[in-house]
């Protein structure tokens, strides 16, 4: 019988990056001649680049400039790599789960230098068993593909596994994949939106989840 896994989104969940991403997307869009409200971009954080641009510019927008906008965002965000900060007790949470026997997997669209910067900021490599990138699957969140890919990395099944994330896209992906979804408010998404998207538990941040770990789905191995 496979061991259930603890799957974590990274941006906005373990590392405090959502507003940085939003500012960088806002500026990249502005440089490309698009005026998009900050709050609209913030609500799209957690989607892959192509889906994010479709969300903020419309499905029928001219996609010829997408690559340049994405490159602009990447360049701007790269200037923050050495200043990224984890949320309080994020590393402690991963380590505690690792000690308790949970395979810990990061499910993120980040890769290369960006992923390296996130892992350096988190400073919990000793507790991370695998990393799954959305780039390795056909569809990103809210499709279940990234979450199922994360489970494959540690030979885990959805039953009993837990996914922790901060966005509605995270919750929808976890629900579609059959995992127990835990939402955190640290990404800026309202509690009601996370619950409507499938969150079965919601915590302020990793610090509160760590403090209440014994009362969470992790103590019940993902069961209701």
pLDDT in tens, 130-167: 998 867 877 788 889 999 999 999 999 999 999 999 99
Tens digit of each residue's pLDDT (9 = 90 or more) over 188-218: 999 999 999 999 999 999 999 999 999 999 9
Report yes or no on 140 lying in a domain.
Answer: yes
Do the beta carbons of residue 4 and residue 174 sit within 8 Å? no
Taking alpha carbons only, the member of 44, 49, 88, 119 closest to residue 184 is 88
198 and 107 share one domain: yes
Instruction: For residue 1, name the pLDDT band (cuts at 50, 70, 90).
Output: low
| Token pair in block for residue 129 | 């068993």
- Give the pLDDT score at 93: 98
C-alpha span between 217 and 213 (Å, rounded): 8
Q: Please report, for the domain that includes residue 55, its CATH number.
A: 1.10.150
Report yes or no on 96 lying in a domain.
Answer: yes
- For 85: left if phi > 0, alpha if psi spans -120 to 50, otherwise beta; the answer is beta
Residues 180-195, mean pLDDT to the nearest whole number: 97
Report yes or no on 1 lying in a domain.
Answer: no
* SS3 label, residue 119: helix
13 and 60 share one domain: no
**Domain hosting residue 65, numbered range:** 18-79
pLDDT beyond 90 at 179: yes
Please state, as a whole number, how many other Cβ atoms lie within 10 Å of the Cβ of residue 223: 11
Of 33, 54, 79, the position where a domain reaches its end is: 79
10 and 49 share one domain: no
Secondary structure E strands in the chain? 6-8, 104-108, 130-133, 162-165, 180-184, 201-203
- Give the pLDDT score at 140: 81
* Number of structural domains found in the chain: 2
128 and 113 share one domain: yes
Burial of 112 (0-12, 13-18, 19+ CB in 10 A): exposed
186-206 core/surface letters (b: 16 or more CB in 10 A; e: else): bbebeeeebbebbbbbbbebb
Tens digit of each residue's pLDDT (9 = 90 or more) over 73-125: 999 999 999 999 999 999 999 999 999 999 999 998 888 899 999 999 999 99
Of 61, 79, 97, the position where a domain reaches its end is: 79
C-alpha span between 58 and 51 (Å, rounded): 10
118 and 177 share one domain: yes
104 and 161 share one domain: yes
194 and 184 share one domain: yes
Residues with Cβ < 8 Å from 89, sequence gap 6 or more?
Answer: 206, 207, 210, 211
C-alpha span between 196 and 77 (Å, rounded): 30
106 and 116 share one domain: yes
pLDDT beyond 90 at 57: yes
- Give the pLDDT score at 190: 96
Please state, as a whole number, how many other Cβ atoms lie within 10 Å of the Cβ of residue 140: 21
Report yes or no on 137 lying in a domain.
Answer: yes
Do the beta carbons of residue 10 and residue 106 sit within 8 Å? yes
Report yes or no on 107 lying in a domain.
Answer: yes
50 and 123 share one domain: no
- Give the pLDDT score at 171: 97
- Give the pLDDT score at 223: 65
- Give the pLDDT score at 222: 64
What single-letter DSSP state applies at residue 108? E
């Amino acid at each position: 019988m496979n061991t259930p896994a603890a799957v974590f989104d990274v941006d906005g969940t373990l590392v405090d990056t959502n507003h940085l991403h939003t500012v960088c997307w806002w500026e990249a869009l502005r440089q490309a001649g698009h005026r998009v409200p900050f709050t609209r971009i913030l609500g799209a954080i957690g989607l892959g680049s192509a889906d994010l641009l479709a969300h903020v510019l419309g499905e029928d927008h001219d996609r010829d400039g997408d690559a340049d906008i994405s490159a602009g965002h990447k360049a701007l965000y790269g200037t923050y790599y050495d200043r990224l900060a984890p949320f309080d007790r994020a590393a402690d949470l991963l380590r505690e789960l690792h000690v308790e026997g949970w395979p810990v997997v990061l499910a993120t669209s980040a890769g290369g230098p960006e992923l390296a910067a996130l892992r350096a900021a988190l400073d919990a490599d000793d507790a991370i068993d695998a990393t799954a990138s959305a780039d390795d699957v056909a569809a990103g969140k809210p499709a279940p593909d990234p979450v199922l890919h994360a489970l494959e990395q540690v030979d885990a099944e959805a039953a009993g596994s837990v996914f922790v994330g901060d966005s509605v896209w995270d919750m929808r992906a976890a629900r579609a994949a059959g995992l127990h979804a835990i939402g955190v408010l640290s990404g800026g998404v309202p509690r009601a939106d996370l619950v409507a998207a499938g969150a079965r538990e919601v915590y302020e941040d990793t610090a509160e989840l760590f403090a209440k770990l014994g009362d969470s789905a992790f103590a019940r191995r993902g069961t209701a």
